[in-house]
Amino acid sequence: MNRSFLEATLPAFSFLAIDTSSPYVDTRANLVAGSPESRQYQAQYLNGDDPIGQLSDILNVTVPG
C-alpha cells in the first residue's frame, strides 16, 4: 500500500509525492530562505494507483527558518 502526500497551497491542496515507506521527509527549501514557514499536509492510501478510503485529517507543521 502506498501513501500519497499533499501539500497545501492556495487556494487548494496540490500533489506532493507518492511514498512507500515511513517516515516521509519533505526536503523542499522554504519559499523565503531563513524564514519559518507554515505547511499543511494531507494523505490518502493508495491500492496500486487507486485511492482508497478517506483523506486524512490535515496536519499543520511549522518548518523553522
List pLDDT tens digits, range 2-60. 555 566 566 778 888 888 888 888 998 998 899 998 888 888 988 888 999 998 998 99
pLDDT (0 to 100) of residue 62: 92
CA atoms of 43 and 14, how far apart (whole Å): 11
Residue 1 pLDDT grade (very low, low, confident, very high; cuts 50, 70, 90) = very low
Phi/psi zone of residue 11: left (φ > 0), alpha (ψ -120 to 50 degrees), beta?
A: alpha
Distant-in-sequence, close-in-space partners of 17: CB < 8 Å, separation ≥ 6? 4, 5, 24
Q: What is the pLDDT of residue 54?
A: 92
DSSP character for 34?
A: T
- The answer to whether 31 and 48 are in contact (CB under 8 A) is no
The whole-model pTM stands at: 0.79
Task: Specify the pLDDT at position 15.
Answer: 84
